Structures are given as C-alpha cells and as structure tokens.
Amino acid sequence: MIIGYLVPHRCENPSLGRCIQCGRGFCDEHTNQTREGRVCIACQQGLEMPVALPIAATLFTPTDLDAFGRSSRYNDSDDDSGDMFSDLS
C-alpha cells in the first residue's frame, strides 16, 4: 500500500501472497479473487498504484456520487466566470 494523502499509514495486515498482474504483496483486505487468481484492488480497478478510499466515501449513495459527477461537469471551459467553487490557492 502506498503511503500518502488518502492512505496515512502502511497496511498493518500480513501479506498473504502476490498479485498475479503486478506482483505486489497483498493482504486479504486489499485483494479479490478472480478466475485467473488473486488480484490486488489497484489492478482490478485499472490503477497503476494502489489508492484507498476514505472510510467516509463508502457511505456515499449512488445519488451522492451522481451529484459529485454533475458538479465536476458544471463548467469545463477555461473561463473562470461562473465557477461553482472558489479557488483559494
């Protein structure tokens, strides 16, 4: 597991084996069984590096996720007028 913004610490679970696609070690919590064998969540999601969702993200309903998607498509132009969110940088 990569340490970073979404994952503040390494997974403390013991490694049970290696992903058949990338060869990274995995624990039971961060892998899924496929017909071909055990695959880490990152490879299953098509990601180059593992990313963990915050626990709160698992509580979002499909309606919540749809609302997030609509707001990100609100104004895709380079024109900043009408931005939905403030840029505080």
Based on the structure, what is the number of domains in the chain? 1
Identify whether the C-beta of residue 48 lies closer than 8 Å to the C-beta of residue 55: no
85 within domain boundaries: no
83 within domain boundaries: no
Q: Please indicate whether residue 20 or residue 61 has the higher confidence score (pLDDT).
A: 20
pLDDT of residue 46: 80
2 within domain boundaries: no
86 within domain boundaries: no
What is the domain range of residue 36? 17-72
Distance CA(68)–CA(40), nearest Å, equals: 27
pLDDT of residue 57: 61
Average pLDDT of span 53-58 = 57
For 26, phi then psi, to 5°, come to: -145, 155
Identify whether the C-beta of residue 84 lies closer than 8 Å to the C-beta of residue 74: yes
Length of the chain: 89
pLDDT of residue 43: 85
- Percent pLDDT > 90 in the chain is 0
6 within domain boundaries: no
pLDDT of residue 3: 45
